Structure 1
C-alpha cells in the first residue's frame, strides 16, 4: 500500500512540476510572438504563466524532499559523533515536518476564506481558490516526504547516518559513469572536493 502511495505522490509532484514549467514557458513564448510579430498581446497570458510557474515551483519543491535535494549545510553533522548527528537529523526533520504540516493546514483554512469571499483573478476571471489550492496540497505532499525520510532516519543505525553533500553525490555519479577512470585520479578529485568544502563551510 505504501509503495503505491509513494509512486502516486511522486507521479503527482513530477507531473505537475513538469507540466507547470512547460506550459508556463509555452504561454510566455506565445505571448511574446503575438506581441512582437502580430502586435496583439494576450492580456491573460502573463497571469496564467505566473500561476503555472507557481504550481511548478511548489510541487517541484515537494519533489525535492523525496530526492533530499534541498540545500543543506552539513558541516556540523560531519564533525560531531554519529549518535549526535542522528539526533540532530531527527530534530531537524521533526521541525521541518511540523512547519510543512502547519502551512498545509492553515493554507486549507485560508482556502476556505477565499471560497467564502468568492475572490476571482483579474485577467482570467478564475476562482482564486483554484490557484491557492497549491498551498495545502503541495505542502501536505512535502510533509509526507519528510515524514517518510524521518522514518528512514529512525530505522537507520547511527553508524550509517551520513548526509552526502552535493559534491559527493556528483562524485558518486561520476564513479558510476566512468568505471575505467584510474583510482588515483578519483582519489585526487575526492581530496580536492573535500578540501574546497572545508574552506567554503560545506556550501559547495
Structure 2
C-alpha cells in the first residue's frame, strides 16, 4: 500500500526527472563531441526531441494533479463559494470528456503508425514509441481527473 501511495504522489515527477537527466546528458555529450572533437552525433537531437514529446504528454497528468494548469481564476474567486464549486466541477467534467475524446483518436494515430511501420530517421526506432506518448499522457490525465473527483467528493463528505 505504501508503494502505491508513493507512486501516486511521485510517479510523474520520477519520469519527468529521468527524462530531463537523459536529455541533459545526451545534449551535453553532443556539445562535447561537436566542439571538442569536431564530430557531430546524429541521433542526439532526435532522441532529445522524442524525450521532450514524452515529457510534454506526461506533464499533463502532473499538472492536473498539482492543479497548476494555465487558468484565469480572478473572476471565479469573486463569486460565491457555491458558484466556485459548480464552475470547478464543470471544468473537470469538460476536461474529462476532452481527454477521453483525445485518447480515442490517439489510438487511431498509433494504429496508423503501426500499420505504416515508419522508423525515425537517425535512431531507426519505430515511430509508434513516440506516438504512444499521447495515449499514456491522455490516460494519465483521465486518471488524475477521476482521482480529483474522488478527492473532492471525500472532502465534501468530511465538511
TM-score, normalized by length of structure 1?
0.70
Q: C-alpha separation between the residues in 2 aligned to 1:105 and 1:11?
A: 26
1:107 has 2:112 as partner:
no
Query: Counterpart of 1:146?
Result: 145
Unpaired runs of at least 5, structure 1: 161-204
Shift of 1:151: 2.8
Q: C-alpha separation between the residues in 1 aligned to 2:75 and 2:150?
A: 22
Q: C-alpha separation between the residues in 1 aligned to 2:151 and 2:71?
A: 18
Q: C-alpha separation between the residues in 1 aligned to 2:87 and 2:39?
A: 56
Q: C-alpha separation between the residues in 1 aligned to 2:3 and 2:56?
A: 24
Query: Counterpart of 2:86?
Result: 87
Alignment root-mean-square deviation, CA: 2.1
Query: Counterpart of 2:77?
Result: 78
Shift of 1:76: 2.1
Q: C-alpha separation between the residues in 1 aligned to 2:105 and 2:123?
A: 26
* Higher RCO (CA < 8 A, seq sep 6+): 2
What is the aligned residue count?
158
Moved over 2 A (4+): 3-12, 150-157
Are the structure 2 counterparts of residues 6 and 102 from structure 1 closer, same or farther at C-alpha, using a change threshold of 3 Å?
farther
1:61 has 2:52 as partner:
no
